[in-house]
Structures are given as structure tokens and as C-alpha cells.
Amino acid sequence: MVKISPLSSKESAHADSVWSVCFASSSSSENDLIFTGSLDETVSAWKASDSGEIEKKEDYIGHTLGAVSVAASDSGLVASSALDSMIRVWELESSETRTVIECAPSESWEIAFEPGKNSKHIAVAGGVSGTVKLFSTVANSTDSTSAHQTHNDAKFSYEVPVREEHQNRFVYSVSYSSNGKYIACGTTNGTVGLFDAESGKVLGQFDGHKLPVRSVCFSPDSKCLYTASDDGFIHIYDVTSKQLIDSFSGHTSWVLSIAASPDGNSLVSGSADKSVKLWDVSSRQCIQIDKSHKDAVWDVSFNTHGTRVASVSSDKSVSIFTYN
């Protein structure tokens, strides 16, 4: 049976709580690249060697309030969303700014890139707008001397349906399916929306959670949707039938993040109970618990190869685990 094994940890990686983490693949580096976003207003890039040693590569500055989400694309981009209502998109290889997306106040939360090497869009959990918005990552400026362009033109605005008993629809989390067909989002009222990524059509609304849904992700085959909530549960939904398949329980506080392993066999979750948990998808059981963090675990992420897991916490640290 697979397990996660602690490889290394970077204490005081940031000056404040670390809320987000993602892996990125770089053609110019043999090591894993890890990006973290913190309430200290910085996005940091880290190199993780084969031995697991974590070394600071550089800081991406520009945000004026805390960075709440980071994401990497298959097409060589990295982006961050912050409380300053800005989404900054960088070129991975050059570290140069590609574009800056300006959102309305409280309308930029979790972000997710369109999958694929030709990815041109980024989905944004729209917060108080009750929507998921799809923005282009390609600047429209015709001025070749301009390094980047600030814009706020959304291709689509996916409006989460409202039921009478669920009037509050603050959209907190968002995810693309690996096949690029679907976008899912989680809201503070516990509902989850599913959309057609091309047309923006609402395909379904999933109920079941009683508190905010902090994280959503699809299975690698795009057939299942996993959701994590402040109610302490992780749910599995069938994307086609829109039915709740099962739920995982075991965390003693908010489940803040989930990530599916590329092999489809496991889930990793992070919680306000300070733990990282590994779940077996087939048996739907927790098979391992790591309690090395000293505070809430805000985000977890698998690398592309499915060999490592990263976690970040309010204790300001970044941890890396092997997965095998």
C-alpha cells in the first residue's frame, strides 16, 4: 500500500501564514519547482532537490495584500491571486509578468488554469459575485514595448444557481477537470456547482455539505469530483449522474484542502486540525496521518509525476513528502 513519507521541511519559509502551494514543471530545471503564496504578500519559488532539500529560488513581488492562491499551467505559466483583488500571471522560465488581471473587491479567490499545453485561460472563484469567471492569460495590448497589460475582461462568467434555501453563494474554490470539459466550484453555503467549461452552461449543483466548501478537485479520469468542507467531511460525487457516491470522515476540524494523486489511487487532505491525511480511494479509508505541522494546513499539492506531495501551513512552513 502506498504511503507518504516526510522528506524535508522549510521552517519560517514566509513571514506570515502560508495559504497556498503548487508544483510546476520547468524545462530548465531537473528539480521540482514549488510555488507558495503567503499572507506576507509574497509568492515564493523554491527548488526541491532529489534529496528533498528546499532552497529559495526567488520571490515574486507585486501584491499589496496576502496571496491566497497559486497555480501553475501546463503551458509554462504561474499565477497568484491575492486579497488586493489582483491576479498576477508570470512566465515560468523568464519570471517576467505576462499579464495582470484586476478584479472587483472580494471577487478573486482560488484560481485554476485550463489544462493542456495550449492553455490560454484561468478560472477564478468569484467570491461575493457568486460566479466563476474565466479570464484570458494572453495580454491584448498591441504596444510591443509594454511588458504586460492590466485587464478585467472575462470570457465567461459562470453564475452559480441559487436555491431558496441557499441565498448566500460566495464562491471560494474552483477546479478544472483534467480533460478540460468541466469546471467545478465550492461555495460558503456548502453547495458545489458544475459547469461546461466551453459554454458556461450549468450542468448541476451538488448538495450535501453543511458548511463552506474550501477545496474541490476532479479525479484524474474526470469521472469523479472530490470536495472538502468546514463540516469536516470529504465528499465524492459522480460527475455524470451528479450523485453523492460516498464521504470520508476523520478530520476533527475544517478540511481546508484536497488533492488527487495522478495515479488516481489516493487523496491527500489538509485540515485546520493541523494534520495531513492520506486516503485510499478504493477502500475510502484514511491510511496515514501526518501531524508534523504545528498549525492549520491550508493547502496540499501533488507534483506532476505523482512522486511527491507538498503542504503549507499557518505555522509558516513548507513540507515535502514522498509518495510511493
Taken in order of first residue, the domains within the chain and their CATH numbers are 4-323 (2.130.10.10)
Give the N- to C-terminal CA distance of the chain in Å, as an integer: 8
pLDDT digits (tens, 9 = 90+) for 210-254: 999 999 999 999 999 999 999 999 999 999 999 999 999 999 999
Strand partners, 48: 32, 54
pLDDT digits (tens, 9 = 90+) for 99-143: 999 999 999 999 999 999 888 899 999 999 889 999 988 755 433
Length of the chain: 324
Q: Which residues 6+ apart lie within 8 Å of 143 measured at CB? A: none
| pLDDT for 48 | 87
Compute the distance between CA of residue 147 and CA of residue 123 in angstroms, rounded to an integer: 23
Strand order in the sheet with 154-159: 111-113, 121-125, 131-136, 154-159
pLDDT digits (tens, 9 = 90+) for 43-66: 999 998 888 789 999 999 899 999
> At 161, is the secondary structure helix, strand, or coil?
coil
Q: What is the pTM of this model?
A: 0.92
Q: Is the pLDDT of residue 272 over 70?
A: yes
Strand order in the sheet with 266-271: 255-260, 266-271, 276-280, 285-290
